[in-house]
Structure 1
Amino acid sequence: MTILVTGAAGFIGSNFVLDWLEQCNEPVVNLDLLTYAGNLENLKELEGDPRHQFVRGSIGDRNLVANLLADVKPRAVINFAAESHVDRSIHGPGEFIQTNIVGTFNLLESVRGYWNDLPDAEKAAFRFLHVSTDEVYGSLSKEDPPFSETNQYEPNSPYSASKAASDHLVRAWHHTYGLPVLTTNCSNNYGPYHFPEKLIPLCILNALNGKPLPIYGDGQQIRDWLYVKDHCSAIRRVLEAGKLGETYNVGGWNEKANLDVVNTLCAILDELKPRADGQSYATQIIFVQDRPGHDRRYAIDARKLEKELGWKPQETFETGIKKTVHWYLDNQDWVNHVASGEYRNWVEKQYDGQQN
């Protein structure tokens, strides 16, 4: 018994692999192209572990994936592989179309060919789990109820549009071809190994290096924050017991405005690693020009997952964010290796000269 995990050197994927192998001994084959956010250092503790096999490659490479499936014979494929950063999708949408739409199509076709040839019992047990985002649902006002699985799709960025398209492909491959699929749509993840272009790791890194903490617009954009290890446990549960063809929203029940998140980070850092001058890290906060089409609020209604499969998050935002800050303080070698090269060039391009 083996599972194939795509995009497993990225933030959520690597956490999933580490969590999976803590919970059981079922081997994992890791397929990742190692683009800018894929980092094998995330999985350093698995070096020499026979339960983890890494293969470098793209989900869009039909021959590679077909050969890998035939060789490994996984009982399930969990697809994390995606371009995922909204700002990058605004500057260069083409890569998002190729990876998230064309790549997902090619992966589905490779998996369908493999699945069709399985013996009946293995065919019935096989699962394809597609990991997606709440951003496909669009934006909410403060008065709107949280997103449920029945909300219509209203994506507002090239990233969310590409993920919405991939969700539709997964659904269609189930209804047309019978492929046994499951889809999860998660809220904003945070935690260990988060590539530092996203809000929480970026602000931790900048705070410690005496740099500005850039906040888009007025900082009142609201997100539902989900600790990554809670997300991993939800995916395991959906894979184990989810109903074929169904979508499950995964959220943390933690709606926070971006400015409040950053102020919380600053308060924790003030306590754990005070600035030499005695000032709060909050004095480093700046407000920068808002990005185009910035969704005002996301919120996830995760009651279906709790009611049908018995899952709910274990971490509150307060407990999860403290664990996250501790992790970054305790893993400075990882941070220093990531915070160089292309990442540094990207941050300078994205935020230089944008202070209001």
Structure 2
Amino acid sequence: MKLLVTGGAGFIGSEYVRNLLQGSYGPSEADVTVLDKLTYSGNLENLASVADDPRYTFVQGDICDADVVEQLMPGHDAVVHFAAETHVDRAVHGPAQFVQTNVVGTQVLLDAARRHGVGRFLHVSTDEVYGSIEQGSWTEEWPLAPRSAYSAAKAGSDLLALAYHKTYELDVVVTRCSNNYGHYQFPEKVIPLFVTNLLDGGSVPLYGDGLNIRDWLHVSDHCNGIQLALTKGRAGEVYHIGGGTELTNRELTELLLAATGRTWDAVRPVEDRKGHDRRYSLSIEKIRNELGYEPQVSLHEGLARTVAWYRDNRSWWEPLKGRSL
């Protein structure tokens, strides 16, 4: 099998590529082409461990560039589409790039995949497309109600991908995940931002009352779910990939303070983000029952591993701190 992985130099995409080529999903003869624009959050160091693998090819390019995509798509059996603008705070300040990359870029890829007979298009999305839920958990049939430019652009790309399945019979599968964390995550996101600030003796910003709730998913579990959806998922279906551990932002902050040996003196309250969703919660019954997915990394274990990684890999994240918001 020959895979085209978009955004493969980013946090989640690089985890997937490393795991695939290093045999974490079992023996694989897959050849992998990574297409990545290498924006501020893309980093070839994330793929250094597989850079010499003869099955790996890297191409720097933009998914919105139809010529680049047209040249690359022929001969690939499947697309695993990670590439996206993802940081909500950046979307508040500048939504246009989110629409361009997340919607137009996805459309360019879908058109090329259709023209060249790609066997499967796996589109990676987010729980944020549903908006906010006070009680219970979203199922895959829940109506979309995004509340930020980021989530609206992702919802648009989801609907576009699913429409290509209906209209053109393109084999599309959509996955929607909860909040990811782990090694190699760019330090604008809350866990690496807090960990690196705390390790440096700095303070951390806590939005509003700190009671917004998120389900936390280790990146390795997310990528395991993606591989299951790619290889076993049904065409035209949506699958949720969650971690099964909900925390308020305040509870998460307490865990990170304890892990870094800091106290609440290091926390500074800040004004809440515009349109800040109160709670996310995904039901993972469908992917569990159909594909056998089960998260393997507990939050306690995952956070410990993550903090240790950032403590031991300053040379990776220190040069990136200046690129964060």
TM-score, with structure 1 as normaliser: 0.88
| Structure 2 contact 204–266 (Cα < 8 Å) conserved | yes
Quick check: 1:212 aligned with 2:194?
A: no
1:277: which partner in 2? Answer: none
Aligned residue identity for 2:8 = A
2:126: which partner in 1? Answer: 133
Distance between the aligned counterparts of 2:29 and 2:42, measured in 1? 24
Distance between the aligned counterparts of 1:10 and 1:262, measured in 2? 25
Secondary structure of the structure 2 residue equivalent to 1:55 = strand
Select 1:110's aligned residue among 109, 112, 127.
Answer: 112
| Structure 2 contact 162–236 (Cα < 8 Å) conserved | yes
- The change in CA–CA distance for 1:263 and 1:25 in structure 2 (over 3 A counts) is farther
Deviations 1:304-340 (A, max 9, x none): 0000111110011111111111111121110112223
Distance between the aligned counterparts of 1:149 and 1:160, measured in 2? 16
Task: Please state how far the C-alpha of 1:64 moved relative to its aligned partner.
Answer: 1.1
Task: Please state how far the C-alpha of 1:69 moved relative to its aligned partner.
Answer: 1.6
Distance between the aligned counterparts of 1:281 and 1:16, measured in 2? 35
Quick check: 1:89 aligned with 2:80?
A: no
* Runs of at least 5 residues in structure 2 that lack an aligned partner in the other structure: none
| Range that drifts further, 44-53 or 91-100 | 44-53
Distance between the aligned counterparts of 2:160 and 2:317, measured in 1? 36
Quick check: 1:193 aligned with 2:184?
A: yes
| Structure 1 contact 7–30 (Cα < 8 Å) conserved | yes
Aligned residue identity for 2:252 = V
| Alignment map for 1:303-318 (pairs within 5 Å) | 303-318=285-300
Task: Please state how far the C-alpha of 1:25 moved relative to its aligned partner.
Answer: 4.2
| Structure 1 contact 207–281 (Cα < 8 Å) conserved | no
Task: Please state how far the C-alpha of 1:254 moved relative to its aligned partner.
Answer: 0.6
- The change in CA–CA distance for 1:208 and 1:2 in structure 2 (over 3 A counts) is same
| Structure 2 contact 21–50 (Cα < 8 Å) conserved | no
* Percent of residue pairs bearing the same amino acid type: 48
| Structure 1 contact 134–186 (Cα < 8 Å) conserved | yes
Select 1:34's aligned residue among 17, 31, 38.
Answer: 38
Select 1:255's aligned residue among 246, 252, 256.
Answer: 246
TM-score, with structure 2 as normaliser: 0.97
Distance between the aligned counterparts of 2:321 and 2:32, measured in 1? 28
- Which aligned runs of 4 or more in structure 1 are off by greater than 3 angstroms? none
Secondary structure of the structure 2 residue equivalent to 1:339 = helix
1:14: which partner in 2? Answer: 14
| Structure 2 contact 17–32 (Cα < 8 Å) conserved | yes
Select 1:331's aligned residue among 293, 297, 313.
Answer: 313
* Runs of at least 5 residues in structure 1 that lack an aligned partner in the other structure: 116-122, 271-279, 347-356
Select 1:231's aligned residue among 222, 225, 250.
Answer: 222
Aligned residue identity for 2:237 = E
Secondary structure of the structure 1 residue equivalent to 2:196 = helix
Select 2:269's aligned residue among 262, 284, 287.
Answer: 287
Deviations 1:277-305 (A, max 9, x none): xxx34320111000111000001110100
1:354: which partner in 2? Answer: none
Quick check: 1:243 aligned with 2:234?
A: yes
Secondary structure of the structure 2 residue equivalent to 1:210 = coil
1:349: which partner in 2? Answer: none
Note the aligned Cα RMSD (angstroms). 1.0
